[in-house]
Structure 1
Amino acid sequence: MNNPVTIDNISKILTAQNFSMPAGYVTDDNNQKYMVRVGDKVPDEEQLKNLSLFDTGIDGLGVVKLSDVADVFIADNSDEVYAKINGKDGVVLSLSKQSNIATATVCSNINDALNTLSEQNEGLHFTNLYNQGDYINLVVNNVLQNLLMGAVLAIIILFLFLRDIKPTIIVACSIPISLVFAIVLMYFSGVTLNMISLSGLAIGVGMLVDNSVVVIENIYRLRGLGYSAVQAAVNGARKVAGAIAASTLTTICVFLPIVFVEGITRQLFVDMALTIAYSLIASLIVALTLVPAMSQRMLSRLKPQKDIQNSKIMKTYERSLRFVLRHKVVSIIVVAALLFASMFGTLARGFSFMPDMSSTELQVNITLDDNATLDDTISVAEDVNDIINNYDEFETAGVMTGNASSMMGMSSGSASNDAGTVIAYGVLKDDYAKQSGTISDRLSKDLEGIDGKVTVSSGSSSSMTSMLGNGSVEFELFGDDLNTLKNTASDLAEKLSSIEGVDETNSGIGATSPEIKVTVDKKKAAQNNLTVAQVYQQFAAAVSSEKTSTTLTNSDGTDIDVVVVKGDEQKVTKQSIGDISLTYTDKEGNEKSVALSKVADISDSETMNTINRQDQKRYLTISGTVKDGYNLTEVTNSAKSMIADYDLPNGCTVEFSGSDKATMDAVGQLMLMMALAIVLIYLIMVIQFQSLKSPFIIMFTIPLAFTGGFIALLITGFDISVVSLVGFVMLCGIIVNNGIVLVDYINQLRLDGKERTEAIVEAGKTRMRPILITALTTVLGLSVMALGIGTGAEMMQPIAIVCIGGLLYATFMTLYIVPLIYDAFNKKELKKVEESELESVDD
């Protein structure tokens, strides 16, 4: 007879007896339909004890109740979960949003719900330990402040150049109108107002006045030549319409190749590209419509202007320009030398994916060794709690045991399964957000005495960089033989640790666990009518210590899991494994049993906790963290050199992964994007100028901009990153605008009959002011972002730094190098074209 009192049988009986389900519908004589529910749920602990399991069929023994074969009680497991918030006991909840809902919206709704619960329950208090919504709102508000401050600074520089409030107001109007237009287009194209899209508006705010400045400057010039207000407004806009349309298109087209970019890079910058494009399209429309209309009314009376052409600045510029034109070779050599020196100096620093960002939150992960008990973990948690609550910089601090990556173990009540993990969160006060790096270093030192592996990181500064594993060298070692893999991985990890800049290393082998191997003797098992699968099933049932079978609902409405657990005397130990009884049916149909040791060999061994495979190949991931002050790319290159010199065993290969691979992949995609952008820029200018030569001359402004960008990165100490490369891509489209305006006017003057050199000099003097105004408005519009003011501003800071450096250097050099290149490529004089001929062509 089979033993019915097994953990498996009792679990199944509980599930079957504690049962209530709709079985169908019946009707009465009046055709009234009734739903029939069969069974009922056990309502409380007392009835669970008296639950009938089975009838023995033996007189005097009768029905066996659950309480006859088991102790039934409600267990309090609260001591298995440790959580303290600001030094007080608490419960940790972790909530995740749906992918199609905005994070900030979800967080706001959750806060509203928690506030309602607090009002309804006296003494209940909720504290946010990790709130992505707060961080997002903080960053977005900082970006908006940067946008507004940039716009104000751009307007101020306009007034300083124009020295007249009326044209300043006209040009300044292009900023809010263009922004509103861009936001409308964002709405219809599904682009939300987020950190990336708002950063795009903040980056473009200084460029929004560029087209209007060129138009108003030309209108001003024509009014000075005696044109009426209406004539100056119409002709002033018409004569530069082609040039500013081309310059706007060149700026926008640099983002078109982003459709060829994949992965994170595309996700990061699509919204930014669209917002910049929308705002620039709006600024072009405003410059060609609103600005002339407002100028015709507001500039009817022209304020007397100083003779700028004969000022000391212009005379100095003219002399220096003529000097450069006479010494072309020396000038080109100096400019080229500065380009290569700055480029190699910047490249020598290496690459990074994203810049470090400040955060309002710090996270501490502590992993104890595998033998740590729950009491050991709680003791460590108490020590961490004492340390972290002594920091005045934290507004809120929480310490808990459980799953360190998501706290989901805590919220589900399974923290006891993670006895060797402690996690702590600290929310910094707003005044200390910028000091998160310093505070993190200090906290790491204070936790050095803690028994376990301690990691301190920013809680929400950049989930992307965390996902990419930023700050570590990683490579996979592939191979077939597990022992060879383990030995080689250990050796490579040791060699990796000797590389300068590498801190902690990990061989990827991880912890090993003791294992008992049961090898079934198939011949002996077959003699007892047993298969390997049957041995496994009976063994698994014997060693299973607990099973969750059903639930019961208390009178207060709370659900309680019913868990069937073996008594201590029934538990299988290492020593008693061989005594496990296996049942089988012999040839005569009689049920018999045999000890496990009679049909299997039992031996001790060790096994890895996890074995990774890719394309059916085993692999181990060897990694090493990079020390502060060392560049990840440089350290990775040293690791690659070490691997190249290492004699790998047969069948073993190495592939680098992690953030370095992601960084280089992104850099490669952006370089392709830049190359395609340069081709598009050239084609647009060919259409504009109806010439191959003039666009070719203008393209020389791009290496000038790159020189300035490299110098800016060197001065500020930033590495070349994916973000800074986007700045270089943007520079390609921005800087050619100065060249377009300058070369276009040189061609106009030569068509009017001016001698080549004189046309070059006059064009430089005439276009200097609008070129400087457009450059400086863009620079000042980006200046607040370049300073990295506010939490999260560091993400877009490299773009602003590269653009400012490139614009300042290239704008100044454009006034010399473009005329120099133009003079070198245009030795033949152009035929003078009369205005009557142009009018006949227009007709």
Structure 2
Amino acid sequence: MKKLLLSHRRIKEVTVSSEFSWWKDDYTEFYLEFDKRRMAEENLTAYDLFAVLRPVFMRDQLAGSILYDNGVEYLRLSSAQSRDYDVWAFMSVPFLVKGKQYKLSDLAVLAKGQAPKQVAKENQQYRLCLQYEYIGSSEQGKKLLEKDIDTLRKRLPMGYTVESDSAYWSWGKEDHSQYFLLLIVISIIFFISAILFNSLSQPLAIIFVIPVSYIGVFLTFYLFGLNFDQGGFASFVLLCGITVNASIYILNEYNAIRRNFPGLSPLRAYTKAWNVKVIPIFLTVMSTILGFVPFMIGEKTPFWFPLAAGTIGGLVMSVIGIFIYLPVLSVSGTIRKTIRRQRK
């Protein structure tokens, strides 16, 4: 797959690691790149070469253990020649394989390149991740990747799979159920608020504050050049609950003041409710923002970093929505009704 990607002019570098990372991993190793055609002609495998070279170059090889009264002592073997041979000897000294002499330089090339530190295991499968830098439009790069994946799938032996886990937003080409989930969450919030306040207008005021917080999410991803992935969508769901909490606190206090003081004007009652709840609301917002700050420090993980960035940006914008839009949407109608009654 790496060679297939590097065959394109717009792809300059491909890295192989055990997991996807936002940062380039500079870890490198020496490795042998075998001449598969020459080895096939000589009827040799990599295991045949390893079996011959290992006794000569091995170090600290576990050979067994000795049991005694207080514990176990492990036996390790090291070849006497392993410290005498250098890289030149490793590649040039002839060795005998299947009755014939070969030099390793005739069958392989010693190279140094980027390699994964470990091989990760996920869902009972060993996994390697390929990342590359593509110069060009994202849509063209997406088509190119899908074409290469289809080409490689035809060549892979049984038991191997290849799939795309790109950072761009993709939960399946035909799967748009995530947007329907947002509507379900908003509907649940509306019905619960309607039951709590015994009203339809106040729950609508609460719901309309949610899109204001979404503006903060979009601005955060746009201004800082972040990729909108599952973490960004999770911040949408999280903001639904956090944003409406502050609105529910204020409106619940507002309704309680109106019941206790019927003669108080709606604007004055809302001002009192705001003064009572503003400090707990700001403390809740600030504590939530500070709670997500650790996810933005260090490595930019594909899920947690966008989740933290989107939530913080949405919470900052939700304060503006609660301060401006909530009183306009919830109290303005009551004020107009009060004015009409006074005129009559």
TM (normalized to structure 2)? Answer: 0.57
Q: Whole-Å Cα distance in 1 between the matches of residues 162 and 288 of structure 2? A: 46
Structure-2 residue corresponding to 1:718? 226
Give the Cα separation in 2 of the matches to 1:669 and 1:90.
56
Offset from partner CA, 1:172-205 (integer Å, 9 cap, x none): xxxxxxxxxxxxxxxxxxxxxxxxxxxxxxxxxx
- Write the deviation string for residues 409-451 of structure 1: whole angstroms up to 9, x where unpaired: xxxxxxxxxxxxxxx8553xxxxxxxxxxxxxxxxxxxxxxxx
In 2, the alpha carbon distance for the partners of 1:701 and 1:738 equals 10
Aligned mates of 1:756, 1:680 — CA distance in 2: 28
What amino acid maps onto 1:770 in structure 2? P
C-alpha distance in 2, partners of 1:807/1:705?
A: 6
Q: CA deviation at 1:813?
A: 2.5
Q: Deviations over 1:195-249 (max 9, x none)?
A: xxxxxxxxxxxxxxxxxxxxxxxxxxxxxxxxxxxxxxxxxxxxxxxxxxxxxxx
TM-superposed CA distance for 1:825, in Å, is 2.9
Q: In the aligned structure 2, how far is the partner of 1:507 from the partner of 1:810?
A: 42
Aligned to 2:209: 701
Structure 2 residue 181 is matched with structure 1 residue 673: yes
Asked if 2 retains the 8 angstrom alpha-carbon contact of 1:713 and 1:802, the reply is yes
Cα shift readout 1:38-97 (whole Å, capped 9, x = no counterpart): xxxxxxxxxxxxxxxxxxxxxxxxxxxxxxxxxxxxxxx964337999xx647999xxxx
Q: Partners in 2 of 1:811 and 1:461 — Cα distance?
A: 43
| Cα separation, partners in 2 of 1:379 and 1:729, compared to 1, 3 Å | same
Residue 74 of structure 2 is aligned with which of 110, 121, 124? 121
* In structure 1, C-alpha distance between the alignment counterparts of 2:61 and 2:272, rounded to whole Å: 72
Letter in 2 for 1:709: V
- How much identity, in percent, do the aligned residues show? 19
Q: Tell me: CA distance 1:376–1:499, structure 2 relative to 1, closer, same or farther (3 Å).
A: farther
Partner residue of 1:828 out of 326, 337, 340 = 337
One-letter code aligned to 2:74: N
Supply the distance in 1 between the matched residues of 2:282 and 2:203 (Cα, whole angstroms): 21
List per-residue Cα deviations over 1:729-763 (Å, max 9, x = no partner): 11111110010011112222223131012222232
Write the mapping of 1:495-510 to structure 2, written as runs, cut at 5 A.
499=140, 502=144, 506=148
Match of residue 285, structure 2, among 757, 760, 775: 775
Contact 1:709 1:805 in 2 (8 A): yes
Where does residue 80 of structure 1 map in the other structure?
A: 49
Residue 746 to residue 509, structure 1, CA distance change in 2 (3 Å): closer
1:80–1:374 contact (8 Å) kept in structure 2? no
Checking the alignment, whether the CA contact within 8 Å between 2:238 and 2:311 is kept in structure 1 is yes
Alpha-carbon distance change, 680 to 79 in structure 1, aligned in 2, over 3 angstroms? same
Would the aligned equivalents of 1:678 and 1:732 in 2 still touch at CA under 8 Å? yes
Q: TM-score normalised to the size of structure 1?
A: 0.26
Report if aligned partners of 2:120, 2:128 keep a CA contact under 8 Å in 1: no
Asked if 2 retains the 8 angstrom alpha-carbon contact of 1:670 and 1:726, the reply is no
1:785 corresponds in structure 2 to: 295
The residue that corresponds to 1:763 in the other structure is: 273
1:686–1:469 distance in 2 versus 1, CA, 3 Å: farther
Do 1:82 and 1:378's aligned partners in 2 also have CA atoms closer than 8 Å?
no
Which whole-Å deviations, capped at 9, do the CAs of 1:573-597 have from their partners, x for residues lacking one? xxxxxxxxxxxxxxxxxxxxxxxxx
The equivalent of 1:795 in structure 2 is 303
Could you tell me how far 1:677 is from its partner in structure 2? 0.9
The CA RMSD over aligned residues, in Å, is 4.9
Q: Which residue in 1 is equivalent to 2:246? A: 738
Matches within 5 A, 1:333-482: 379-380=108-109, 383-384=110-111, 387=112, 425-427=115-117, 459-460=119-120
Aligned residues: 252
Alpha-carbon contact 1:83-1:92 (below 8 Å) kept: no
**Partner SS, residue 337 of structure 2:** coil
For residues 47-196 of structure 1, the aligned pairs below 5 Å read 79-81=48-50, 89=58, 120-123=73-76
Gaps of 5+ in 2: 1-45, 79-101, 340-344
C-alpha distance in 2 between matches for 1:463 and 1:675: 31
- Distance in 1, Cα, partners of 2:268 & 2:52: 80
Aligned partners of 1:775 and 1:807 also within 8 Å: yes
How far residue 374 of structure 1 moved from its aligned partner, in angstroms, is 11
Q: Which amino acid aligns with 1:120?
A: E
Q: Deviations over 1:634-664 (max 9, x none)?
A: xxxxxxxxxxxxxxxxxxxxxxxxxx76444
Residues 611 and 804 of structure 1: CA distance in aligned 2, closer, same or farther (over 3 Å): closer
Unaligned runs of 5+ in 1: 1-76, 94-112, 126-372, 389-423, 428-457, 473-495, 512-607, 613-620, 634-659, 831-843
Residues 780-814 of structure 1 show CA distances to partners (whole Å, capped at 9, x for unaligned) of 11111133x36x85531211111111111102331
2:235 and 2:310 in contact (8 A); partners too: yes
Secondary structure of the corresponding residue to residue 108 of structure 2: helix
1:699–1:83: structure 2 CA closer, same or farther, 3 Å change rule?
farther
8 Å Cα contact 2:167-2:229 kept in structure 1: no
| SS of match in other structure, 1:121 | strand
Residue 747 in structure 1 maps to residue 262 in structure 2: no
Q: Distance in 2 between matches of 1:426 and 1:729?
A: 35
Q: Is the 8 A contact 2:296 2:309 kept in 1?
A: yes
